Amino acid sequence: MSQDLRRDVNWRARNAPVSPPAGRDCTVIVPLDGSAHAAAALPVARAMADIAGTTLHIVYVGERVLPPRDLLHKLGLTTEQLHRSIIHQGGGAPAASVARLASSFRNSIIVICTRTWTARPAGKLGLGVKEVLQLASCPVLLVHPRWAGQRWMLQRVLLPHDGVPSTATAISTAADLARQAGAELIVLHVAASSGGGPLEPGTFTSPRYVDQPQHEWPAWASEFLGRLCSLGHTPLETGMRVFLETGEPGATIVRFAAEHDVDLIVLGWRGRMESKRAATIKAVIGEAHCPVMLARIQEPLTN
């Protein structure tokens, strides 16, 4: 049974140089194909563009270029809905066109419904979305079709972290978003109940007495957050909270996010979705009640 160790620690990075958030110059891109499920990503994409203070870029890829009026009808948009938006039309493979547009900007985020272009069962990623994930080097924010027509606000950002150094780079993405939106940043470390040693040198493991947090929890939490900020090169101007729980990572993250009314989950991933990999990511994408952002990380160098 998962043990709930919800002692949170407010932590501030002190005496660190403050750099402007990377998200401030971020370009937000949303692919639309005229289907209702693809349009579910639009409210989230608009909110993200507002947070970044930037124009929203809408991408439509079809067999032929449509006149403006026909294109708006195809996408189910009105001229009023195009305020602070730019529409790009392209041909060829949709995923490649979206990834190519994203790569043309210095800093971008793709916001896409989990079932764009090809319908899939609930909780499954569409084939086109998988292609976008494989081709894009920027963060990709996945939105479930249930968000169609709903308003979305970013007030709480959840960053699950396993203590592995290479995945700490995801904190930059999460921290920048939280800082710009004025949102709370929550860090969750899940101590998996199924043993197994560290997979990478420098992995920061859970407290030895995970069932008795009073022994070392405050010191562990402070060091854990300190390492994250150091590895992610992200000084924080506001405090953030850290939680420790035990259990199966995917299910624990989903439950924790729902119980804490989280608006966005940010996960670092290594660009692979094979059956024996990314089990936690696939579980979170399939079951989370809120959008999930995947931030690409690099594999550590091995000798």
pLDDT above 80 (res 118): no
**Number of neighbouring beta carbons within 10 Å of residue 84:** 11
Q: Are residues 169 and 122 in the same domain?
A: no
Domain boundary pick from 99, 123, 147: 147
Q: Give the contacts of 163 (CB within 8 A, at least 6 positions apart).
A: 189, 198, 203, 204, 205, 206, 224
Tell me: do 282 and 237 sit in the same domain: yes
Looking at 101, 123, 147, which one is the last position of a domain?
A: 147
User: What's the domain range around 59?
Assistant: 22-147
Q: Are 163 and 143 members of one domain?
A: no
Considering only CA atoms, which of 303, 299, 292 is closest in space to residue 125?
292
> Are 107 and 222 members of one domain?
no
Residues 243 and 161 in one domain: yes
- Entry pTM: 0.81
Q: For residue range 138-185, list pLDDT tens digits in order.
A: 999 999 888 777 889 999 999 987 756 556 667 778 888 888 899 998
For 30-73, the pLDDT digits (tens) are 999 888 888 899 999 999 999 999 999 999 988 888 998 999 99
Alpha helices in 83-183 (DSSP H): 94-103, 127-135, 170-181
Measure the CA–CA gap between 189 and 246, rounded to whole angstroms. 8
Q: Looking at the structure, tell me whether residues 142 and 185 fall in a common domain.
A: no
Length of the chain in residues, anyone?
303
Last residue of a domain, one of 85, 119, 147: 147
